[in-house]
Amino acid sequence: MNNNPAIIGASLPRLDARDKVTGRSIYVDDMMLPGMLYGALLRSPLPHARIKRIDVSKARALKGVKDVIVGADTPQIRYGNWRLVPQSQDELPLAVDKVRFLGDEVAAVAALDKETAERACQLIEVEYEELPGLFTVEDATAEGAAIIHDDSPGNVSLNRKITYGDLEAGFKRADYVRDDVFTVHAVSHAYMEPCSSIAAPDEGGRVTLWTSTQVPYIVQCLLAATLGLPENHVRVIKPNVGGGFGGKMELRPWEFCAAFMALRTGRPVKFTLNREQELAFGRRRHAMTIHSKVGFTKDGKITAKDFNVLLDGGAYNSMGPTATFLCGNFGAMLYRYPAYRYLGRHVYTNKPPAGAMRGFGAPQALFAAESQMNMAAAELGIDPIELRIINAMETGDEIPEVATISSCGFKESLVKVREMSGWDAKRKEKSPGRGIGVGCYSFISGGVFNWFNTKYNFATAEVRVFEDGTAHLLTMATDIGQGSDHTLRQILAAELGIGIEKIRLTAADTAVTPKADLGTWGSRVTLMSGNAVIDAARKIKEMLIPVIFSQFDLNQIHDVAFEGDRVFAKARPDKGLTFGECVYKALRGRRGEPLTAFGAYTPRNRGLVSPAFSFGAQVAEVEVDQETGLIKVQKMYTAHDCGVPINKMGVEGQLEGSIHMGLGYALMEDFVMKDGRTLNTNFLDYKIPTAQDMPPGESVEIDTYEPEGPFGAKEAGEGLVSPTAPAIAEAVHHATGYRCMDLPITPPKVLKGIGKLK
């Protein structure tokens, strides 16, 4: 249990903030190395084509050009995050034979300056034989459709099934069955920092890569594999990263090209993308077609659910296999489903690949599932929050063959959000144009699954302590802006009983920090890396405790406490030393052997999905202009269970950021595409919410303790992005009678829905 309330659960300003407010923080594109070359990529102008011929001679002859590469120059080793299933690894850094989306990387140039590199790209001549483009999952899965990848006839790259219980009996027992189809769209991560990478040759044919990534270890392994180098020849360093949200969690072609050309030219090579490229060619959240059938008894108990999903994966698998699995998992979370059948099909199309994005399959699944709960509630004549309480999961519930819920504050969240939002009164009130709606979520605290097939622990930490009373924490955990560096420092400070400012942190350098860490995704860092930090810290404490016993001749029944930069007998606080003195004496006793310890965390006996699940409920209040269809979200109320929050201010920041992203998903963000081309490639046309769009909010953390989490904590960063869209959709329905079945909820759809537009 937490014995350090000044640190755990406090609202602490982050230590990295000072450098960020003064402009001193270094991101990759801020770096320049001596002799550095600038890279540029040539991308396919066609969505689907065979490459007949490439001629780079004019580009190579341009003054200032130092290297030009095409697929044929490279080792042509396929890669993908799903190393566990090698046939799923379907990407090459540069296209060979075929391009599969408009933007697929075909060639790369390194030159003395950016302009020369861009000009050289335009001088590369590529002759294509155009193939039919497939832009919808329906077209791609139609009989006789062109084949995008030869080994995936029918263009389905993956089928994922989850089944339990007796589905047929469940639907037979149902008094009421809903059968609906929902569609959800693709959206951009829109992290503020465009991707940037610099590779520099290192001695002995080795290479160092500074890159804007959420997964330095994965990049190290896959980069080494694609270069044909031993893993240890590649060093990946993550400086400050300007957001990721899932969009920076794979090896990317420019990382390979920078490293490959750095090794060829003997000079550092930098690639930096611009916003237009990010929006036109970047990863995105999966668009899905979701067919959901759910049965209820007349008193509201769920009897069975049949969930069929087609995921628009774009041209490559990317993180699609995980999104496919998690979508199925979240199709049956939150409530007790006695019988469930899921079939998810991941479909290739000739569009930029969809990948991981905050929520990772959950926002789509939960838009459908939560909207359907709202629709069912209306038909059953039961209040939507009451219907949820009737079916809600509780602590100790089992998801068959998947997980046991070791802490769950879902019912409490529902009760709390009903009370704080004034739900009962506002729900009954029927004033035209005003509405209130609810949506809920659950999410994972990291994955149990090992799709990357790592041989190492999932999370690790090294802790060193010194006689000056300070500590050094080394971890491959990857702070991309969420503040996990600070959270891990808090956890170490609480465990060792020293001040946070006494902890030096070295993070995310694969040559220095202990192996391994799977990176930032799936809300895994606080729980997994936090547990690894505690494990290391406890080993350090074992080295220090004997000093106190020897020094003060203590009876062995005593316990030793670590608090306030002191180590002492718990029952006799006067019998103790400062932390630094204690380290000094231990060091003497070890005849100079430094005090350093490794800690690790890999989930054991935690089912198939996640060691712990978060829960929560959100209520949206909206006002809809009946003439224009414009929706103004008036207020958001959230009650959520993230276990024990480590840093309250950090958790609030995650919640507010999630509402921003959920609001954009619900109301305004959307890729406009025509024949595989993304048309809105700037922030005027691709709209994300501004400060003026953000509604005020109220939130409450439900008090739970997650036994598997560090100090009782579980995830807070990702799940909260899911409830916003279904809550707003329900509020719009309450206000106008229009039910959105296809996100986003735009004014024309509202006006059509209320019969004011044909």
Give the sign of the dihedral formed by CA 42, CA 45, CA 50, CA 53: negative
| Cβ nearer to another protein, comparing 290 with 356 | 356
Which residue from 32, 142, 169, 571 is in contact with another protein, where contact means CB under 8 A?
32
Which residue from 1, 21, 425, 557 is in contact with another protein, where contact means CB under 8 A?
21
Cα–Cα distances in angstroms (integers) from residue 425 to residues 126, 379, 594, 659, 706, in the given order: 66, 20, 65, 24, 34
245 binds another protein (CB under 8 A): yes
Q: Please count the CA atoms within 13 angstroms of the CA of 550 that sit on its side-chain side.
A: 10
| Cβ nearer to another protein, comparing 259 with 480 | 480
Cβ 39 vs Cβ 254: under 8 Å: yes
Number of neighbouring beta carbons within 10 Å of residue 283: 26
* DSSP structural state of residue 286: P
Distance CA 257, CA 457 (A): 29
- Residue 134 in 3-state DSSP? coil
* DSSP structural state of residue 220: H
Which residue from 51, 241, 251, 534 is in contact with another protein, where contact means CB under 8 A?
241
Give the range of 235-243, 292-300, 668-676, 743-751 binding another protein by CB under 8 A: 235-243
Binding mask 619-658 toward another protein (x if CB under 8 A, else -) reads ------------------------------xx-xx-xxxx
Q: How far is the CB of 12 from another protein (least distance, A)?
A: 9
Q: How far is the CB of 378 from another protein (least distance, A)?
A: 30
Which residue from 240, 364, 407, 478 is in contact with another protein, where contact means CB under 8 A?
240
Residue count at the site for another protein (CB under 8 A)?
57
Cβ 181 vs Cβ 364: under 8 Å: no
Residue located via tokens 């204690």:
582
14 binds another protein (CB under 8 A): yes
| Cβ nearer to another protein, comparing 194 with 409 | 194
Q: How far is the CB of 655 from another protein (least distance, A)?
A: 8
Give the range of 7-15, 131-139, 558-566, 620-628 binding another protein by CB under 8 A: 7-15
Residue located via tokens 């809809």:
624
Q: How far is the CB of 253 from another protein (least distance, A)?
A: 21
Distance CA 471, CA 489 (A): 10
118 binds another protein (CB under 8 A): no
Q: Which residues contact 354 (CB under 8 A, 6 or more apart)?
A: 186, 283, 284, 285, 286, 287, 311, 312, 313, 314, 318, 320, 323
466 binds another protein (CB under 8 A): no
Q: How far is the CB of 623 from another protein (least distance, A)?
A: 16
- Residue 238 in 3-state DSSP? coil
| Cβ nearer to another protein, comparing 21 with 425 | 21
| Cβ nearer to another protein, comparing 249 with 577 | 249
Cβ 213 vs Cβ 478: under 8 Å: yes
Give the sign of the dihedral formed by CA 93, CA 95, CA 101, CA 102: positive
Give the range of 139-147, 374-382, 481-489, 746-754 binding another protein by CB under 8 A: 481-489
Q: How far is the CB of 20 from another protein (least distance, A)?
A: 3
Binders in 266-295 for another protein, by CB under 8 A: 274-276
Q: How many residues does the chain have?
A: 758
422 binds another protein (CB under 8 A): no
Give the range of 346-354, 589-597, 608-616, 680-688 binding another protein by CB under 8 A: 680-688
DSSP string covering 306-351: EEEEEEEEETS-TTHHHHHHHHHHHHT-SB--SSEEEEEEEEE-SS
Give the range of 186-194, 406-414, 442-450, 525-533 binding another protein by CB under 8 A: 186-194
Cβ 522 vs Cβ 609: under 8 Å: no
Q: Which long-range contacts (CB under 8 A, 24 or more apart) does 653-658 make?
A: 653/483, 654/482, 654/716, 654/717, 654/720, 655/697, 655/699, 655/716, 655/720, 656/694, 656/697, 658/358, 658/717, 658/718, 658/720, 658/721, 658/724
Distance CA 676, CA 353 (A): 11
Beta bridge mates, 309: 290, 344
Binders in 685-714 for another protein, by CB under 8 A: 688, 690-692, 694, 696-697
| Cβ nearer to another protein, comparing 88 with 240 | 240
Q: How far is the CB of 17 from another protein (least distance, A)?
A: 4
| Cβ nearer to another protein, comparing 561 with 668 | 668
Cα–Cα distances in angstroms (integers) from residue 117 to residues 123, 264, 395, 640, in the given order: 10, 16, 58, 50
Distance CA 332, CA 557 (A): 49
Tokens of 369: 């599932």
What is the arrangement of strands in the sheet containing 176-184, beginning at the earlier edge strand? Answer: 156-164, 340-348, 302-314, 287-296, 176-184
| Cβ nearer to another protein, comparing 19 with 703 | 19
Which residue from 29, 306, 669, 718 is in contact with another protein, where contact means CB under 8 A?
29
Q: How far is the CB of 560 from another protein (least distance, A)?
A: 35
Give the range of 29-37, 39-47, 76-84, 143-151 binding another protein by CB under 8 A: 29-37
Give the range of 200-208, 234-242, 399-407, 606-614 binding another protein by CB under 8 A: 234-242
| Cβ nearer to another protein, comparing 31 with 378 | 31
Distance CA 652, CA 697 (A): 10
659 binds another protein (CB under 8 A): yes
| Cβ nearer to another protein, comparing 399 with 727 | 727
Give the range of 191-199, 347-355, 412-420, 599-607 binding another protein by CB under 8 A: 191-199
| Cβ nearer to another protein, comparing 13 with 230 | 13
Containing 203, the helix (H) or strand (E) segment is none
Tokens of 331: 């199709």
Q: How far is the CB of 273 from another protein (least distance, A)?
A: 10
Q: How far is the CB of 459 from another protein (least distance, A)?
A: 22
- Residue 622 in 3-state DSSP? strand
Q: How far is the CB of 681 from another protein (least distance, A)?
A: 9
Distance CA 396, CA 636 (A): 30
Distance CA 42, CA 318 (A): 21
Beta bridge mates, 645: none
Which residue from 197, 482, 520, 638 is in contact with another protein, where contact means CB under 8 A?
482
11 binds another protein (CB under 8 A): yes
Give the range of 9-17, 64-72, 421-429, 627-635 binding another protein by CB under 8 A: 9-17
Binding mask 39-68 toward another protein (x if CB under 8 A, else -) reads ------------------------------
3-state secondary structure 383-426: CHHHHHHHHECCCCCEECCCEECCCCCHHHHHHHHHHHCCHHHH
Give the range of 52-60, 240-248, 291-299, 320-328 binding another protein by CB under 8 A: 240-248
737 binds another protein (CB under 8 A): no
Give the range of 100-108, 190-198, 263-271, 590-598 binding another protein by CB under 8 A: 190-198
| Cβ nearer to another protein, comparing 25 with 391 | 25
Which residue from 143, 153, 192, 555 is in contact with another protein, where contact means CB under 8 A?
192
134 binds another protein (CB under 8 A): no
20 binds another protein (CB under 8 A): yes
Q: Which residues bind another protein (CB under 8 A)?
A: 11, 13-14, 16-27, 29-30, 32, 189-194, 240-243, 245, 274-276, 480-483, 649-650, 652-653, 655-661, 682-684, 688, 690-692, 694, 696-697
